A and B are shown apart, each in its own frame.
Chain A
Amino acid sequence: MPRPHSNQSYEKARDFKGAIKRLFHELNIYKTLIVIAFTLAILGSILSILAPNRLSNLTDEISAGLVINQEHMEILTKKATENLSEDKLKEILPELLSPNLSEENIMNIMRDNDISQEDKNKFQNILNKLTDGNSEESFKDLSNLPNNILEKIFTETKYEGKTITTKDKINLINLSEDTKDINLSKNLQEVLFTEVTIDGIKVSSQDQYKYVKTLSSIDKNADETELYKKLDTMPKSIRQVIEPVMNMDKIKSITLLLVCMYLVSAIFTYIQSICMTDVANKFANNLRSRISVKINKLPLKYFDKHQVGDILSRITNDVDMIAQSMNQSLASLVSSITLFLGSIIMMFVTNWILAITAIVSSLIGFVGMAAILKKSQKYFIQRQTELGNLNGHIEEIYSGLNVVKTYNGKEEASQKFDEFNNKVCQSNKKSQFLSGLMQPIMAFIGNFGYVAVCIVGAMLTMNGQISFGVIVAFITYVRLFTNPLSQIAQATTSLQSTAAASERVFDFIDEAEMSNQESLTKHLDKKDVKGYIDFEDVVFKYDGNDHPTIKDFTAHAKPGQKVAIVGPTGAGKTTMVNLLMKFYDINSGDIKIDGVSTKELTRENIHELFTMVLQDTWLFEGTIKENIVYNRTHVSDERVREVCKEVGLDHFIRTLSKGYDTVLSDNESVSAGQRQLLTIARGMIDESPFLILDEATSNVDTRTEELVQTAMDKLTEGKTSFIIAHRLSTIKNADLILVMKEGNIVEQGNHEQLMKQNGFYANLYNSQFEQ
C-alpha cells in the first residue's frame, strides 16, 4: 500500500539491520573505492589525533622561551661573585694594594699633626700585627683607619699594567661582603673580575660587575616581573647567557611537520570525499536505472495498488536520501568513530588522570543532550505530521476553490486552516527550539571540558607531573572527543532514514516480476496472422477480489470483425483490454489467437500483433514526430506525413511554427481532439492484424470529433477490432457486442439480437432516448 510521505525522513525501517546489510551487499561492486575511502578516513583521523601532540610539543618549545635560563644564571652568579670572595681577595690584595709601609712613610704619618693620637695608636697596632705575620686580619683592620692615614699608605700604583688609584685602594679595603652599594672604578672592575665564558658566550669583567651590582640591588621579596625588568637592563652578554632560548630550529621543524600533517590530512579528506561522492552518485544512478527497468517488468496489477507518486518518490527522494547519507554520513561515521576511539586511547596514553577528567566532564553534557535529542525527535515527527495535515488541507481547498467559494465553504475552510496552522505553529516552536539547543550545549560541553582539563592539568603541572604542552594537547583532545559524538549521533539518525529509504527502494526492486517467458518458443508472425480470436471459458479474478471478474466467458471473433465492448462506467471494460494484451494472466480457460493459446506466446509477440489506442491520450514531452514514431526505428518522414494526412492532422501540424518538430508540452496549442488524433497516428504507423480501440467520450469539439471518427474508422479497416464503444453508431455497426456489467460480460450478440433479448443492453440503449 502507498505510504504517507509527509514524514518520510523520520520513518523508521522495519528491519534496520537487514536493510543496512542489504545496502552493503549492494555496495559490494564499489568495494575498492569504499575501502580506499574508509582507509583514508581512518588515516586522516589518526593524523588529526596525532597532530595535537605535535602542537603540544610546539607549545612546549615556545614556552621554553618564556622562563630565564636558571642554570646559566646560577653559573654566572657563582662565577661573578666568586671574584669578590675573601679567598680570592686575600690572594691578590697584598699585591694589588701594595701599601707603602716604608719606615719613612710610617714616620711621616706618626709625625703628622693632623692625625689624632688615637688613630696613630690604631695604626701602630696594625703595624705590629703585620710584623707578627698576621697579614690577613690586618688588611681588614686597615679599613678602620681614617682616610687621611689610608691616603698616605695607599699611593697610586700599577697592577697588571693598570693604574690603581688611592681612592680605588681605599674603596677596595672597604669592600664589604654585602655587594649592595658596590661601586668600583673601571680599572678595578677589570682587575677583580676575570672574564668567563658560559655556553660559548664571553662575559666581560665589566658586564659581570654590572650583573652583580644589579642583582644585588633587587629587593629579596620582589617578584619575577621585577626581576625580569631588571634583567632587561643588563648588558647584552649577560642577557644572552641568561635569557630563555627557544630552539628555533626545532620550532621550525615541528611547524613544518605539522604543516605536512595538516596538508596530508586535508588531501586524505579530499580524496576520501571524492571517492564517496563517486560511489554515492554511481550507486544512485544504478538504483534509479534499476527502478526504471523494474517499472517495465512489473505486472500491471502492481500499479493497481500503488500510486504513481509513491514510485516516483522512490526514484527521487529515497534514492537521494541513500546517496546523500552515503556521501556524507558513511565516511564521517567511520572517521568519527576512529577519532572517538583514537582520542580516548591517546588521552589515556598521554595522561590517565586528565583523560578521565576530560571524559567524565563531557559525558555529563552528553547525557543531557541525548535526552534533548530524544525529545526533539518526538516533536519533529509531530511537526512533520501536522505539516502534512496542513498541506493536505491547503491542497484540497486550493484545487477545489470554485466549489469552496460557491458553496460558501470559505469560512469553514479558514477555521480548519487555523486549527491546522496553530498545531503546526505549536509543534514548530518546540521542535525549532529544541533543535536550536544542540549547538550551544555542544559549545558549553567544550568549554566545561576545557576548564576541567585546565584545572586538573594545572595541578599536575605544579606537581611537575606534566608539562604545559600536555594541557594544550588535551584541550584539543576534548574537542576531538566531543565533536565525533554528536556526529555519530547525527550519522545514526541519518542511517535510520537511509535504512528506511533503502528498504523502500529494494522492496520495489525485489517486487515479483511478470512470469518468465523463456520457455515460450511459439511465435506468430504478424504478416501471417489471419485474425481469429477465441475466448474459451475464460475465468479471471483480480488479486484480492473474492469473486472472479470474468466467469466462463466464451466468444469468437473472426478476421475483420468489429467487437464492441459496452457497459456503464466502472463495469470493467478495460479488463478485456488487459486480458487481450496479456497485461494480466487469466486464471483458467484460454484466449487463442489464430488458434494458438496466448499462454504459449510471449507478451512482446502479442503486443506486436495489436494496435492499441486508448482514450487517455498519452503523449510525452518531445516533438510531434517523436511522439508519432515513438520507439520504432526506420520510420521515414514520408511515412509519418502519410499517416498524419490519413488522420487529417497534416494540415494542422504544418500550421505550427516548427511543423513536425514542434515540441509537445502541457501548453494548449494542441487540443484534446488533436492529441487523440496523434495517438491514432502513432497506432497507424505499423500495420497489425488486431486493434484495440477506446473511443473518446467527450471533451472533444465537434469538428475534431468528426476527424477522430473518420480516423478511427480507417484504423479498423481490415483488422479484427475490439472497441470500447461509446457511440451508438459504432455499437450498432458492430459484428459482436459484449455487454459488461459490474465486471462481468452479461450479454453478447449483435445489436438486433440483443435488442430482441430485451435485457440489460436493451434497457441501456433505450434509456438514452427515454423521454
Chain B
Amino acid sequence: MLKLLRNLTKKEWLYAIFCIILIIGQVWLELKIPDYMSEITVLVQTEGSKMSDIILNGGYMILCALGSLIFAVGAGYFAAYIASEFSKNTRKEIFDKVQNLDTEEIKAFQTSSLITRTTNDVTQIEMLIAMGLQLLVKAPITAIWAITKILNKGWQWSIITGIAVLILLGVIIILMIIVIPRFKIVQKLIDKINGIARENLTGIRVVRAFNAEKYQEKKFDKVNDKLTNLQLFNQKKFAIMMPVMYLIMYGLTLSIYFIGAGMIQNSILADKITIFGNMIVFSSYAMQVIMSFLMLAMIFMMIPRAEVSAKRINEVLDTKQKIIPGSFEGDTKEKGTVEFKNVSFKYPDADEYVLENISFKVNQGETIAFIGSTGSGKSTLINLVPRFYDATEGEVLIDGINVKDYKFEALNNKLGYIPQKAVMFAGSVNYNISYGDNGKGEKSQTKIKEAAKVAQADEFIEKMDDKYETHIAQGGTNVSGGQKQRLAIARAIARDPEIYIFDDSFSALDYKTDAVLRKELKKYTKNATSLIVAQRIGTIMNADKIVVLDSGKCVGMGTHKELLKNCEVYKQIALSQLSKEELENA
C-alpha cells in the first residue's frame, strides 16, 4: 500500500503536510472547546459571576469552533485534492501499464480483472485517502491529546474511561472476528445468485424447452435462502454494535458523574467547584477519546480492503514488459513478405512447445492459410507476427527484417489485423472504420466508404438511420455478429496494410458473404499479402499456400489440391466438411 504513495507528486506531499498541520490546528481548537465549556459551566454555577464573562468565554468558544470549522474545511479541501489527484495518477499509471502489457500477461490477469483493478480498486484506495488521511491523523492526535489533558484530573475517571475504551475495542474486535469471514461468504453467495440468474437468462430458450422453470427456481431459491440466512446472521450480530456504542457512551458519562459526585462529597469545600468543573470537562474529553477510538476502529476496518486493492494494483504495476520494441522504422527492400525461419514457441513456464520448427515464406500479393484442429497452434502462429508473443526460437521476418527490430508503430503500419472476435468502439461507423493511425494521415470519407464496400458492409451501413454517422454502442451491442466482423474487416482495409492477418475472422459470416468478401478483397488488394487462419475449408481452399498444423507441427504445406493428395490430416478435415464430389468438383 505504502508503495503506491510514490504516485503522489511533490505538490501533493506539500498539500499533505498542509493538511496535517490544519488537522493538528483543528484538533487543538476542538480540544480547547471543553476548556471554555467548563469555564462557562463554572461561571454559570458560581453566584455573582458577571454576564460579560460568560459572553466573553462563549465568544471564545464560538471562535474556537469557527476556527476548527475553517481548519476542517481546509484540511478537507487538501484531502479531497490529494485523493483525487492520487487516484487520477494511479489510474493513469495502470492504464499506461496495461496498454503495454504483453498478451500473455493480459491473459493471466484476465481482462475483467484488469478493468476492476483500474477502476474499483483505485476508488477503494482513493476513499481511504480521502477519509482515512484525515481520520488517521486526527484520531490518534485527538486521543493522545485528550488523554494527556484529562489524565491528571482524577485517576478514577481515567480508569473508567480506559475500561470503556477496552470494552469498545473488545466488542468491535469480537464482531470483526465473527462477521468478517462470513462477509466473504456473502460475497460469494451473491456471485452465485447472480450466476444462477444469469444462467437462467442466457439459457432461457433451453430452460423453457426442457420445461425446467421450476428446477431453475428451486436452484435459485436454495442459494437465495442460504444468502438470506447468512445475511440475517451477520446483520443480527451487527445489530449489537449500535446499542453497545450507545451504552458505552452514556454509561461512561453517567459513571463519570457518579464518581464525580462521590469525589465532590469527600473533598474539601474549596476544591468542590473545581472538581465539578473538571467533571464536566472530563466527560466531554472522554467522549472525544471514545470517538477517536471509534474512528480508528473504522479506519482499521477500511484498511484491509484497501490493502487488498493495493496489492492487486501493484501486481499489475510490477509486471515487467517482456516484449520490447526495436528501433527500425526506415524503408525496407522487400515489400509484403512474411518469413518464418525455424520458429518455435512455448509459454515461459510450459514444458511443451505450442509451435515447433515452423518455416515458410510468403511473397507480396500471396495468400497463405493455416488450418488445423483446435489447439494446433494456428492462432499462436499468426500472433507472432504483430508480436503479441515473441518466438522462443527462430526468427519471424517481415519485409526481410526481424519483427523484434521494428519500432512498434512501424511494424503495425504494415499490418492489418482482424481478430476472431470483432472489436467495436463506442462511436460512429466512420470512427470505427477509420480507427487508429497508419502513419499516412487521416482517412478520407471516400476511403472509408471504399473499405466498407469491399468488406460487404456498405449495404447495411446505408440502411442504418444515420448511415456512416450511426453511433455504434460500446462493444457493438447494436450490430449483429456478422456486421461487426465486416466492420472490423473494413477497418483493416482502410489502413491500407501490406499484410493482412485474419485470425479466424470469417467464421461469423455466412458462406455467401464470406466468399464475396474474399473475392472483392482479392480484387482490391492485389499487392497485399494475406495470412488467414480458418476452420472452414471453403474459406481457404483457394489460397496460394496452405499450412496444415497438427499439435504445433507443420504436417503439410501446399495448395488445396496438393494437400488433398498428400496430406492425411488435411484430407480428414476436408472430408468432414464437404462431400467427396464437392471436393473433387472444386
* Any A CB within 8 A of the CB of B212: yes
Contact B197–A315 (Cβ < 8 Å): yes
Contact B228–A568 (Cβ < 8 Å): no
Partner pick for B201 among A308, A430, A607, CB 8 A cutoff: A308
* Any A CB within 8 A of the CB of B386: yes
Pick out which of these stretches binds chain B: A114-122, A124-132, A197-205, A696-704.
A696-704
A263 to B579, CA, bound (A): 87
Partner pick for B511 among A409, A439, A768, CB 8 A cutoff: A768
Query: Given A62-B257, A421-B88, A768-B511, does the pair A698, B504 have CB atoms closer than 8 Å?
Result: yes
Contact A568–B512 (Cβ < 8 Å): yes
Contact with B along A590-633 (1 / 0, CB 8 A): 00000000000001100110101010101011000000001110
* Any A CB within 8 A of the CB of B204: yes
Best-buried of A224, A439, A610 by chain B (most CB within 10 Å): A224
In B468-523, which residues have CB < 8 Å from any A CB?
474-475, 477, 480-483, 488, 491, 495, 504, 507-513, 515-516, 519
Contact with A along B297-310 (1 / 0, CB 8 A): 00000000000000
Nearest to A622 among chain B residues (CB) is B219
A616 to B515, CA, bound (A): 24
Given the complex, which residues of A lie within 8 Å of B66, measured CB to CB? 444
Contact with A along B242-263 (1 / 0, CB 8 A): 1110110011011001101100
Query: Given A397-B99, A444-B66, does the pair A432, B205 have CB atoms closer than 8 Å?
Result: no
Total residue contacts A-B, CB cutoff 8 A: 454
Contact A266–B111 (Cβ < 8 Å): no
Contact with B along A421-464 (1 / 0, CB 8 A): 11011101110110011011101100110111011011101100
Nearest to A313 among chain B residues (CB) is B194
* Any A CB within 8 A of the CB of B68: yes
In B252-293, which residues have CB < 8 Å from any A CB?
253-254, 257-258, 260-261, 264-265, 268-270, 272-273, 276, 279
Nearest to B585 among chain A residues (CB) is A769
Partner pick for A771 among B51, B542, B569, B573, CB 8 A cutoff: B542
Contact B264–A698 (Cβ < 8 Å): no
Query: Given A232-B269, A621-B199, does the pair A447, B33 have CB atoms closer than 8 Å?
Result: yes
A692 to B210, CA, bound (A): 12
* Any A CB within 8 A of the CB of B217: yes
Partner pick for A700 among B130, B374, B515, CB 8 A cutoff: B374
In B76-121, which residues have CB < 8 Å from any A CB?
76-77, 79-81, 83-85, 87-88, 91-92, 95-96, 98-101, 103, 106, 111, 114-115, 118-119
Given the complex, which residues of A lie within 8 Å of B111, measured CB to CB? 398-399, 401
Query: Given A63-B276, A406-B415, A729-B579, does the pair A458, B199 have CB atoms closer than 8 Å?
Result: no
Partner pick for A292 among B59, B200, B483, CB 8 A cutoff: B200
Given the complex, which residues of B lie within 8 Å of A390, measured CB to CB? 91, 119
Contact with B along A22-62 (1 / 0, CB 8 A): 00000000000000000000000000000100010011011
Given the complex, which residues of B lie within 8 Å of A702, measured CB to CB? 373, 569, 572-573, 576
Best-buried of B210, B212, B542 by chain A (most CB within 10 Å): B210
Partner pick for B480 among A267, A569, A727, CB 8 A cutoff: A569
A229 to B579, CA, bound (A): 120
A581 to B211, CA, bound (A): 11
Contact A65–B265 (Cβ < 8 Å): yes
Given the complex, which residues of B lie within 8 Å of A436, measured CB to CB? 76, 79-80, 130-131, 134
Given the complex, which residues of B lie within 8 Å of A433, measured CB to CB? 76-77, 80-81
Pick out which of these stretches binds chain A: B155-163, B229-237, B337-345, B359-367.
B229-237
* Any B CB within 8 A of the CB of A652: no
* Any B CB within 8 A of the CB of A660: no
Pick out which of these stretches binds chain B: A85-93, A151-159, A269-277.
A269-277
A455 to B51, CA, bound (A): 8
* Any A CB within 8 A of the CB of B582: yes
| A-B CB contact pairs (8 Å), 17 listed | A225-B270, A232-B270, A255-B258, A281-B228, A289-B220, A394-B118, A398-B114, A399-B111, A405-B99, A407-B438, A450-B61, A454-B41, A458-B51, A461-B44, A468-B44, A568-B512, A607-B209
Which 5 residue pairs spanning A and B have beta carbons closest together? A407-B436, A701-B373, A400-B423, A631-B215, A440-B72
